[in-house]
Structure formats: structure tokens, C-alpha cells
Chains A and B, each alone.
Chain A
Amino acid sequence: MRTSEGPAESPGRAAVAGGFAGRILRVDLTAGRIWTERPSEREYREYLGGVGIGAKILYEEVPPEVGWDHPENRLVLATGVLAGLPVWGSGGLTVVTRGAMTNGATSSQANGFFGTSLKYSGYDAIVLQGRAPHWVYLFVHNDTVELRDAKHLLGKDTWETQDALHAELGFKGHQLSVYTAGIAGENRVRFAAIHGDYGHVASKNGCGAVLGSKNVKAIAIVRGDRALPVADARGLFTVADTISHDLRTNPTTQALYKLGTLPGVSNLSKIGVLPIRNYTTNQWPEGVDKAPWEGQALRDGFDHRGHQCNACGMRHCQQVVLGKGEHQGAIVDEPEYEGWSCGWTMGVTNPTDMAWLNTQLDRAVVDLNEFGWLMGWVIECYEKGYLTRQQLDGIEPTWGDVKAAHALLQKLIRREGWIGNLLAEGVKRASEQIGGPAAECAVYTLKGAQPRGHDHRGRWEEMLDTCVSSTGTLESGQSVEPGELGLPARFNPVGGDDVAKIVAGMLGRRHFEDSLGTCIFTTRTTLKNLCLAVSAATGWDYSVDEAMRFGRRTACLLRAFNLRCGIGPELEKPSKRYGSTPVDGPLKGVAVADQWESMVASWYERVGYDRTSGRPKADLLRSLGLEKVAQDLWG
């Protein structure tokens, strides 16, 4: 059965600045109604795309009584002004919603081809609201937008879903982009993610659970054939070339260009921030050869083929063939560092095993960071007797046991049995339910989010960022071109005030990047270059100051939304294990707890938020053009 009601607007592109498609696609799943909105050029300039437009919609349309699984929650899938243009990595998707882990705002990105396909079909974003009366998938191809029956897709993992829709719709390769929350989303697993294009995942804050709560199995976008004019094509090509040159030659990004994030395991192990066995140690395991874990060795250790995103010249994304072991011959997505580190939190030291498990997590699909912390917790609890074999349905997980981890994955994505249901809630809720000493070994933030796959006890900037964030993950992100923002090139990663200065100073840059429809790796260049790209695309004179103002305004909107949802400063803390002191390794004895309060206070002071209430100060809000938010928060 199809509910077919194409956009109520006439075809053709709205008269807005270059680079934009000019339309937002709105879908009311309850009513089966589909229509478009045409923001003005002023609105596009103010909200850009991606997280910018998502934050606006969340704040204006999702009141506090609408929780993550309420039909009136919005799920925004947005791209940005540079998507589809000849800039490296311009197929980006940003998902903004009220997420299942924190029950607060989410901003999560994926790459591949979604953004490109959507722009070429004539849309800058899709906004889902309501709940379909039965399982559907959304089909988009130019002006044909339909809610189609998805019953036949239920029970399929993400790769199987994409395969099935390719076959059903008769498209090949990247003509069709399919994003789905897999079996985990169907069952509203709290850390379900949204996966597409065979390896790209918007993973944070249970955005996949939100998609599943709306009875939407997938979004299938055909690469449309709409023209995408830009204001200054020559200028755009020039700056795109400058950016790609930067990425290839800058000493920081050279390795990224060649090997992606593969060098991360060996680099981080050297400085004591590889998360080994659930934060129980920072020592490389005895007897484990380091050589296969070097970046080049991880690349060369598999037969690999390039799997680049839209217009991307990086040699980062690859698909690989497993050359040995139980799954020899299987084609999998080459893990990112986060995939490898997920394994290290569980004690997995065999690259082939983890390469296989990483793709099973993508197929499921769940946030692999959360899965790593969850499995690390389960293994430690089983080892110490806090969880029993009976509770685990006969599974006896040990450090590095990929089979046991996979067996537990299959249970949790189906919420099968007591243990499946417990684990489907994520490590914070699972550990709280078990209680006692088990509750003290879980890694999470009190808001319900989780760190990425690093030992943040040696990278306080990421612990601070993760805990104070309004997005369910890092909000400031890594320090990129700090000198451009007047920040120091180097800082003490365990010096509270140094760390607060960097995290506060960078706040806003990531939101700008995540509104462009590009990849964070291909935006590791100067803000000046990115603004030149925006200017060339749109015809605006877009400055670095405007970019950071946009970013800070977005941060304030998301924070205001969270405060309205009851997520306040009292939750800006790590769990006991997350905030513990390393017992060995290079950072043995370095205690973040000693400086936590002063570091957070310093951050608040620097970003202009009120420490007691968590609210952005009224004069800051007004200076950012958020008069209404100032009134809402301060009266």
C-alpha cells in the first residue's frame, strides 16, 4: 500500500541563495500528509542547514512534555549548503531529534551520499513527525515522495534492507541512498542508530530508536536530477582545491588523508588513552604484538577497496575482505578508530575479529561506543560475579570474546528475554537496575550519554565536552586550527583551566561544520576556507565571525531546549568509573576529580552561561539574536 501525496508546491527551485535546494520536506506520518516549506533566504542564512535548522525546529516544535518516543517528537534529517557540491566529503547528513539516551537534544552525523541525493532531489532537509499506523519506508525521488509499505523489510538488518530496496526499486550503486535503523530501531533499542550506504552511521543518542518509534523502517532517496546552481562556480572550485590541498599536505591531516583514523590505536596507546578493558587498565596487554595495530599494518592487513563518500578524494573509507578466521572471505566495512577501540574496551586484541564484529554492529545498527562500554561492563561484572551465567542465558563472556559479544548483541537488538531487555536500555540504565557494585563499574555521563572510544581520564577536554554537551556527544569537538580563534596550539590535557579554555573557545565551530552537509574530516581546514566555500556557493560575504556566531547561537538553542526538558547542570558529571583515577599507565594517579568542579566552573565563565541554573545569560542570548529564548529562560 502506498500513501502518495507529493509535495503540495509546484516543482522548481525556490529563489534562494546558491547551494541550497530551497525546500524542506515535511512528513506527517500519522495523517499520511506530505508537503514542503520554502524558508526565506534570511532564514537560510540564519540557520544554514544541518544542526542549525534542526535546533530551530526542535526548539519551536517540540515542547517539554513530548518525550523521545512521543509521536510529536521531530526527527530532522538535514544536509547543508555544501552538500552535493564539488567539495570533498559533501554527502553529509545531520540527524537532530530529542534522543532516547538523554531524552534531550541530539546532533549526530553520517556521511556517504544521503546529502547529495537529497539535494539533487530538491530538498535541504526532511522533517518527520507523527507515527505511521503501520511500518513504512519513505521514498523520495524529485517530486515523487511516498510512504510505502515496509512490512516485507521487517527483520532485515541495515545492509539487507539496502540490498532489498536496491533490488525492488531497480537502482544500482549510489543511485539510491538508504538509511535505516535496522532491527535495533524496530525494537526501539535505546542506543539504536541510523545507518546507510553500507558503512555510514548517525550513531548518537538513540536517534535510531526515534525513527523506529515512528514506525519508519527506512528512508530511500534516489539521486535526483535537479540542478544545483551556485553563485561563483570558479570561486568554489578554487577553494575546494585549496581545502583538498590542505588536507593532503597539513602535517596533522596527512595521516588522515592516507589512512583515515587507523593510526589511532597505536597513537593513543602510547599516551595512555586507549580504553582497555572498561577503564580497568592502561597497560598494553602482555603478549599482544603491537605491530599489527599500527595504522599502515591495519590497512595492509586486509585486502581493501576504496569506498569514498560523495566527491571525496581521501583514502579514508574502505571496504575490506577478511583474509582469515571463521569469517574468511566476508566483505566488511573497514573499522574507524572508534570501531577498533570498541573492541579494546571489551578486550578484543585480534584485528580480524574486531573488523568482523564492527560490521555486525553496523548491520544491527547500534552505537558502537555504547556497545563497547556495555560489553566491557558485562564482562567485568561476569568476571566479578555481579552477573551470573543464568542471567546471561548461558553465555559466559570473557575479555576479547567476540562470539559472546555477538550473541549478546543479537539478544539486545531483539529485546530477547530478561538480559536482552536489560542490555537494550544501555549501560547507564542496565547498571542502575542491577545496582550494588555493578553500578560502579559502568562508563557513562549522568545525562545518559557516553564517551567515545578513548580513555578520557587522560583527555579531560573530551570528558568535559561530553559531560556539558547539549547534543548527546561531543559538542565542541577536537581543537581544529586553534590559532584562528585565538586559542593556544598546545595545552595541558590534564590541566583544568587549560582544558576549559579550549573547550569553551572551540564551542560553535563544530555546529557550523555540521550545518554544511560535509564530513568533519574534510572540514579540518581553516574556518576562513570553509567560509570562502559558503560565500562562493551562496553569493554571501560569509565571515569567520558570522560562522562562530551561528555556532554559538545553535549551542544556546540546544542548551535552552535541554533545560526546558529538565536536563540541568546537576547532570554534568561523569559516572564513578568514567571519572575515576587511572591505576596504571602513563597517567597513573592523575585525578580528574580533583579539578572537576573548578574546570566546569571555568568553562561556564568562558562560555557565558550561568553556573547555578545552566542557562545562557540573557545578554549573551540577546547578542546572538535570541530575544525570544532570553525571554523564555529569564522572563
Chain B
Amino acid sequence: MTGSAAKAPHRDNAPRLRVVVETISYVNEMVSEGAAGQREFEVEARQGDTVYDILRRFSSLHPHLNEALWDPETGGIGPHIEIIFNDTILGVRDSEETLVQDNDRIVLTGQYVGG
């Protein structure tokens, strides 16, 4: 299910883009709508936004996720949430500074603890 667009600050007048954030596994529980089964969220984006901007915008609406996602000391992405950008772990081909394109997809999942 795709939810309504999240309202957050964005670049005025730049062309709009459609970016989807999907939450899976226990990250779904960190997102308030997740309890109702919603897993995909369309986040309002504009040309010039980076992956970092999208993550900040989305997590600002979900306090539990916001706390888990960011490293309080560095302000960067912390160790608890794995971020997949267009099917590849963020950092492999792209970074937080990558400019998003129309129909880009970000998946947030838990860090794997093996055994």
C-alpha cells in the first residue's frame, strides 16, 4: 500500500519527484502507520534532493525511527538501520549525497544479526 505524501520542507519551484520509502522487518514497527500494515510511503521530493534529505524528511515524521536511524554524536546515519537504495546497500554504488531521481526507492531494514 502506498501512503499519502509526507509533508516536509523541500526546494521550492524545483520539479517534483516521486520517491518511495519502504520499511521492512522490525523497522516497520518504528513507523507509526506500520501497525496498520502500511509499508510503503511516498515521500515528497524535488530535483536536487539527496538521499540524506529524503531520509531526514521521512524520519522526522516518525520519532522512533528518527531515534534509531541517526547517530546522535555525528549526525550521520547510525549503525542500526540498513539502507537499500534502488536494490543495493547504500554505500556500494551510491551514498547519502547521491541526488535522487524520479521513482527511486529506498528500503529501510534492520541490521542483520546472524547465527
What is the interface of chain A, defined by CB distance below 8 A to chain B?
Answer: 250-256, 258-261, 263-264, 266-268, 270-272, 294-295, 336-338, 452, 454, 458, 478-479, 482-483, 489-495, 520-521, 524, 586-587, 590
Contact = CB atoms under 8 A, between A and B. Distances in A.
Contacts of A272: 87-88
Given A255-B110, A338-B114, A452-B114, A494 B81 contact: no
Contacts of B24: 266-267, 270, 294
Contact of B25 (A295, A454, A483, A590): A295
B71 A489 contact: yes
A486 to B, nearest CB: 13
Nearest to B79: A489
Contact of B92 (A259, A268, A478, A492): A492
A36 to B, nearest CB: 34
Contacts of B112: 263-264, 267-268
Contacts of A252: 79-80, 110-111, 113
A270 B115 contact: no
B77 interface: yes
Contacts of A254: 26
A256 B113 contact: yes
Contact of B113 (A255, A266, A489): A255
23 contacts: A251-B67, A251-B68, A252-B80, A252-B111, A253-B113, A255-B25, A255-B26, A255-B113, A261-B113, A263-B26, A263-B112, A264-B114, A266-B24, A267-B25, A267-B110, A294-B25, A295-B25, A489-B76, A489-B77, A492-B92, A493-B89, A493-B91, A520-B115
A479 B107 CA distance: 22
B84 interface: yes
Nearest to A295: B25
Contacts of B76: 489-490
B3 interface: no
Interface string B72-113: 011011111110100111011000000000000001011111
A489 B68 CA distance: 13
B67 to A, nearest CB: 8
Contacts of B67: 251
A495 B92 CA distance: 8
A480 to B, nearest CB: 9
A337 B113 CA distance: 9
A410 B24 CA distance: 39
A271 B84 CA distance: 7
The 5 closest A-B pairs by CB, nearest first: A251-B80, A251-B68, A489-B79, A255-B26, A586-B87
A595 to B, nearest CB: 13
Nearest to B25: A263
Interface of B: 24-26, 30, 67-68, 71, 73-74, 76-82, 84, 87-89, 91-92, 107, 109-115
A261 B115 contact: yes
Contacts of A490: 76-79, 91
B92 A590 contact: yes
B92 A263 contact: no
Nearest to A339: B115
Most buried by A among B74, B82, B112: B112
B59 to A, nearest CB: 12
Contacts of A452: 114
Given A251-B81, A266-B25, A267-B25, A492 B91 contact: yes
Contacts of B80: 250-252
A270 B24 CA distance: 10
Nearest to B78: A489
A272 B81 CA distance: 16
B69 to A, nearest CB: 8
Nearest to B67: A251
Contact of B109 (A259, A267, A458): A267
Contacts of B89: 271, 458, 493, 586
A251 B81 CA distance: 8
A521 B25 CA distance: 19
A283 to B, nearest CB: 11
B25 to A, nearest CB: 5
B88 A587 contact: yes
B111 A261 contact: no
Nearest to B26: A255
Given A490-B91, A493-B91, A482 B109 contact: no
Contacts of B81: 251
Contacts of A454: 114
Contacts of A493: 89, 91-92
B112 to A, nearest CB: 5
Nearest to A250: B80
Q: Among A251, A264, A270, A520, which residue has the most Cβ atoms of chain B within 10 A?
A: A251
Contacts of B71: 489
A193 to B, nearest CB: 15
Nearest to A458: B89
B89 to A, nearest CB: 5
Contacts of B109: 266-267, 270-271
A478 to B, nearest CB: 6
Nearest to B74: A489
A272 B84 CA distance: 10
B88 A586 contact: yes
Task: Name the residue in B91, B113, B114 with the highest tally of chain A Cβ atoms < 10 Å from its Cβ.
Answer: B114
Contacts of A586: 84, 87-89
A270 B84 contact: yes
A499 to B, nearest CB: 11
Q: Which of B81, B84, B107, B110 has the most CB of A within 10 A?
A: B110
Contacts of A259: 26
A585 to B, nearest CB: 8
B92 A336 contact: no
A494 B88 CA distance: 11
Contacts of B107: 270
A251 B78 CA distance: 10
B70 to A, nearest CB: 10
Contacts of A495: 91
Contacts of B78: 489-490
A521 B115 contact: yes
A361 B25 CA distance: 28
A587 B114 CA distance: 20
Given A479-B79, A524-B113, A587-B92, 15 more contacts: A250-B80, A251-B68, A255-B26, A258-B26, A261-B115, A264-B113, A267-B25, A270-B109, A271-B82, A454-B114, A458-B89, A483-B73, A489-B77, A490-B77, A490-B91
Contacts of A251: 30, 67-68, 80-81, 110
Nearest to B109: A267
B96 to A, nearest CB: 10
